[in-house]
Structure 1
Amino acid sequence: MLLDVPPVTGISDPFPVRVSDVPPGGAVRVSVRATDAAGDLWSSTTEFTADGDGYVDTGSALPGAAEWSPANSLGPLWTLRPDHGSSGHVFALEPGGGIALDVRVRARGAALGAGASRTVGRRAREVDDLPVPGAPGARLFVPADGVARPGVVLLGGAEGGVPAAAAAELADQGWSALALDWFPGGSRGVDVGEIRRALLSFVRHPSVSGDRLALIGRGRGAELALILAVAEPDLVGPVTAHSPSDIRTTDPHADPTATTYLGDAGPARDLPAPEKDSALGRLRARFRPAVSRGPLELADYYARARRRAGEEAVAAARIPVERIRGPLLVSAGTDDAVWDSRTMAETLAHRAAEAGIDAYGIVHQGAGHGVGWPFTPAGVPVPDTIAAYGGTVLLGGDRTSSGAAAVRSRDVVLEFLRETHGGGAR
């Protein structure tokens, strides 16, 4: 049995595992083990059937269990599971860093030590991590060649933190990428004016070419990206909004008066919380999942907020996407468990197109919340939950559908940025 695996590949590149000299029709188990940046061990085992020539290629063959379809060489990586930890455990990546994969193949029923094995690397190209004056809590990643590139700002979701690995992934493709830690902890809110000033500082950075920025956000970050694009139409150009909201939403905090956006946040206002006058409702929204040890399922919360607020309040909370400069790319999964991002994405694209803005939409079948490049690299497993709002939040979707969506999203976002914002391939 001979094993052929590429020795070094990018985090989101194809990962074909090829096995030859197998009895025709024989079952081959492909096992992958990886240690992430947090030191956690992940593993998967997938079984394939050799063709009439005794050959298996994971890039063109489907696994026996048909966990994904069509064939994709990244499937064994989408199905990696942590050896210890919850089902929603996140595969940790370091910006610009790499991971080692131990790949082993053996025939079904063969002795444990039989077969073939190889250790290979998955890594990004070298990028530089630079300071950004006037933008505390931000990290800037640029291609290591020192050439100024179009600037892109990344805004993560309610999980908070700096999406540094995503910014490094974007810089690896040839843009100057700024990652912001913007989502507020508790109910203190975020000063939108401060973020606008950070964007102005970034566009003047020597690593940035041109006078306009592209924004990429997911979830609550997609909501903020649209608010910023409305507020700064001469500064913000292309916007990519993964799993977006078409209104300014509320946080599912225990305090129903909490707001996310403070200061100069545009003409819209937050949608009222559905439990504003109901202590029982607040208990239901916050504490029932904690008691049951299950994750927060927010889709009903946000649907109820819209329904109970009424048409007038929803209209007042609507983000006036017609005022952005554009173009606009929206994406959503059909199994989003956080909110109905598919309907809201379609609404945003329709309203933008009616206003004469170039608008594009992509729907990922079976994917959950937040699946979108570069936040979701194509070659790592997609989590089931995230830590947010003081607990864990269910994202929806299944991992193989979300993995396939990440591959498709990467191709679409790269094409969108190259066509609308320049830069790219280096």
Structure 2
Amino acid sequence: MPARLQEIPLEYFKKAINWLRTQPEVQPKKIAIIGLSKGAEAALLVAATYPEINAVIAYAPSALIHQGLGATNEDPRERSSWTYRGQQLPFLPYHPSAAFVEYIQHQRQAQAPVAFRRAYMESLQNQIYLEQARIPVEKIRGPILIISGQEDLMWPSTLFGDMIEERLNNHYHPYPHQHISYADAGHKIGYPYLPTTIAHARGNAYGGTPEGNAYATEHAWQALLTFLKQTLA
């Protein structure tokens, strides 16, 4: 595996799927994949690539394959987050505006968290790469549950969730799909009953209010359990 979130081969996930299907306690035709943020990007892409995945739960997802994370001054080349059969998958590059770069510098100097949502919104204006970077979610052979927070400051996950829904509908996706979007919730909708007063970490702003995030994590968890029971039971 690469040291950075760049050029991760989808075949890595295929190995995991194959191993999981051989385990005696696993029903091989009832396998779901779940991911959060870049993990949700991966989950949707893996499920669209490998029909062995029977259901998808995508927390704070992207509708697009984005540029990989981890470029350095020594190696600033733009790379895809994912590869398949040795080739980079088409991706949406980051070309932040001068105003956003100035904002980052200001936040770092002030030791304040950075909200990257604006950079992702700016990248959506890149029509040259936008269409080819869309995840082909219509190829997913199973139900899909999308969960997002409307106050996500990392990236516009609610917008991305709507884009996923639109693509599924436009392609007459034959399986159930649902997008649950929470007001006052941010990027970190995850396990319930954990502290939600931390709205940023590692210098990144996630968004949402403590109350909104707490409600979203609890409600989304119940929605996840219901989804799995209905689709894989």
Same fold (TM over 0.5): yes
Q: Deviations over 1:257-284 (max 9, x none)?
A: 1332123489951102215xx8x68954
- Retained in 2: the 8 A contact 1:215–1:225? yes
Partner of 1:339: 155
The one of 184, 195, 210 aligned to 2:28: 210
Please give the alpha-carbon distance, in whole angstroms, between the structure 1 residues aligned to 2:86 and 2:186.
28
Partner of 1:358: 176
3-state SS in 2 of match to 1:361: strand
Partner of 1:384: 199
Say whether residues 1:232 and 2:232 are aligned partners.
Answer: no
Following TM superposition, by how much is the alpha carbon of 1:369 offset from its aligned partner in structure 2, in angstroms? 0.5
User: How many residues are paired up?
Assistant: 226
- Retained in 1: the 8 A contact 2:41–2:63? yes
Q: 1:266 to 1:367 in 2, by over 3 A?
A: farther
Q: 1:283 to 1:339 in 2, by over 3 A?
A: closer
Please give the alpha-carbon distance, in whole angstroms, between the structure 1 residues aligned to 2:6 and 2:133.
20
- Retained in 2: the 8 A contact 1:328–1:349? no
Q: Higher strand fraction: Structure 1 or Structure 2? A: 1
Partner of 1:272: 93
Q: 1:203 to 1:187 in 2, by over 3 A?
A: closer
Say whether residues 1:409 and 2:226 are aligned partners.
Answer: no
Partner of 1:222: 40
Q: TM-score, normalised by structure 1?
A: 0.49
Q: TM-score, normalised by structure 2?
A: 0.87
Please give the alpha-carbon distance, in whole angstroms, between the structure 1 residues aligned to 2:222 and 2:100.
42
Partner of 2:229: 418
Query: Structure 2: which 5+ residue stretches go unaligned?
Result: none
Q: 1:269 to 1:370 in 2, by over 3 A?
A: farther
Please give the alpha-carbon distance, in whole angstroms, between the structure 2 residues aligned to 1:421 and 1:403.
27
Higher-Rg member (1/2): 1
Q: 1:282 to 1:341 in 2, by over 3 A?
A: closer
Q: 1:232 to 1:318 in 2, by over 3 A?
A: same
Following TM superposition, by how much is the alpha carbon of 1:199 offset from its aligned partner in structure 2, in angstroms? 1.4
- Retained in 2: the 8 A contact 1:268–1:318? no
3-state SS in 1 of match to 2:212: helix
Once the two structures are superposed, the pairs formed by residues 107-122 of structure 1 within 5 Å of their partners are none
3-state SS in 2 of match to 1:412: helix
For residue 207 of structure 1, what is the amino acid of its counterpart? E
For residue 344 of structure 1, what is the amino acid of its counterpart? F
For residue 378 of structure 1, what is the amino acid of its counterpart? P
Please give the alpha-carbon distance, in whole angstroms, between the structure 2 residues aligned to 1:315 and 1:274.
17
Please give the alpha-carbon distance, in whole angstroms, between the structure 2 residues aligned to 1:342 and 1:186.
26
Please give the alpha-carbon distance, in whole angstroms, between the structure 2 residues aligned to 1:368 and 1:313.
27
3-state SS in 1 of match to 2:220: helix
3-state SS in 2 of match to 1:357: coil
For residue 406 of structure 1, what is the amino acid of its counterpart? T
Q: Deviations over 1:75-121 (max 9, x none)?
A: xxxxxxxxxxxxxxxxxxxxxxxxxxxxxxxxxxxxxxxxxxxxxxx
For residue 326 of structure 1, what is the amino acid of its counterpart? G
Partner of 1:246: 63
- Retained in 2: the 8 A contact 1:238–1:327? yes
Following TM superposition, by how much is the alpha carbon of 1:398 offset from its aligned partner in structure 2, in angstroms? 0.7
Once the two structures are superposed, the pairs formed by residues 13-412 of structure 1 within 5 Å of their partners are 185-186=3-4, 188-233=6-51, 235-251=52-68, 253-254=71-72, 255=76, 257-264=78-85, 269-275=90-96, 284=102, 287-307=105-125, 309-310=126-127, 312-353=128-169, 354-371=172-189, 376-382=190-196, 383-387=198-202, 392-412=203-223
Q: 1:402 to 1:187 in 2, by over 3 A?
A: closer
Q: 1:287 to 1:191 in 2, by over 3 A?
A: farther
Following TM superposition, by how much is the alpha carbon of 1:204 offset from its aligned partner in structure 2, in angstroms? 1.1
